[in-house]
Amino acid sequence: MKFEPHCAACPRLAAFLSQVRADNPGYHAAPVAPFGAPDPRLLIVGLAPGMHGANRTGRPFTGDHAGILLYQTLFDFGFASGPESVARDDGLRLIDCRITNAVKCLPPQNKPNGDEIRCCNGFLAAEIKALPPDALILALGAIAHNAVLRAMGEPASRYPFGHANEHSVAGKLLLDSYHCSRYNTQTRRLTPEMFRAVFARARSIIGS
């Protein structure tokens, strides 16, 4: 399944985005395309666009709190041309890296339901299938982790999510991290040091 910028397959999400567009005329308020290198050695999978982040800008993790830590860390480990992403046209480039989401549309309360995750999974499956043979997948959070496994036709019960867990799945390496959300970073469930350690591991696997 190729990314569909006008997808309206999920009735609840389509209706919600319609209302968001009416309330915020300047927002992207549509499915958010993956961003980054076309043949990445690192694929980062998040949950879904944030209301005032990717849903506003049209680029994953851009313009909201979660992106602050992510893009700084990507830059620190050589995966981004700059330390911050503020707009879709800001000139930032990802290097050997691509960012996508398990669900491409903004869900109410940032919580997609099971049907929506399953409906969008074909897009993620196509992205994973197109990866280079030695690519590494980094899942941010349990929902992204489970979506990756579904996209690869593997049962979640065989590969438990946990921060810094590593799994060999259908010939690919899957690395887990807690999501870099405002809640996780403010409660210190995820510290910058913990996040950096995951990316240090990713860099060591991929190489320079």
The CATH topology of domain 34-206 is Uracil-DNA Glycosylase, subunit E (3.40.470)
Taking the C-alpha atoms of residue 107 and residue 41, their distance in angstroms, rounded to an integer, is: 29
**pLDDT tens series, the chain, 208 aa:** 889 999 999 999 999 999 999 999 999 999 999 999 999 999 999 999 999 999 999 999 999 999 999 999 999 999 999 999 999 999 999 999 999 999 999 999 999 999 999 999 999 999 999 999 999 999 999 999 999 999 999 999 999 999 999 999 999 999 999 999 999 999 999 999 999 999 999 999 998 7
Please give the model's pTM, rounded to 2 decimal places. Answer: 0.97
Domain ranges of the chain: 34-206
Contact 123, 27 (CB under 8 A): no
Contact 126, 86 (CB under 8 A): no
Cα dist. 174→144, 159, 170, 179 in Å? Answer: 11, 9, 10, 15
Q: Which residues of 38-77 are buried (b: 16+ CB within 10 A; e: fewer)?
A: eebbbbbbbbbbbbebbbbbbbbbbbbbbbbbbbbbbbeb
Taking the C-alpha atoms of residue 193 and residue 185, their distance in angstroms, rounded to an integer, is: 11
Amino acid identity of 62? T
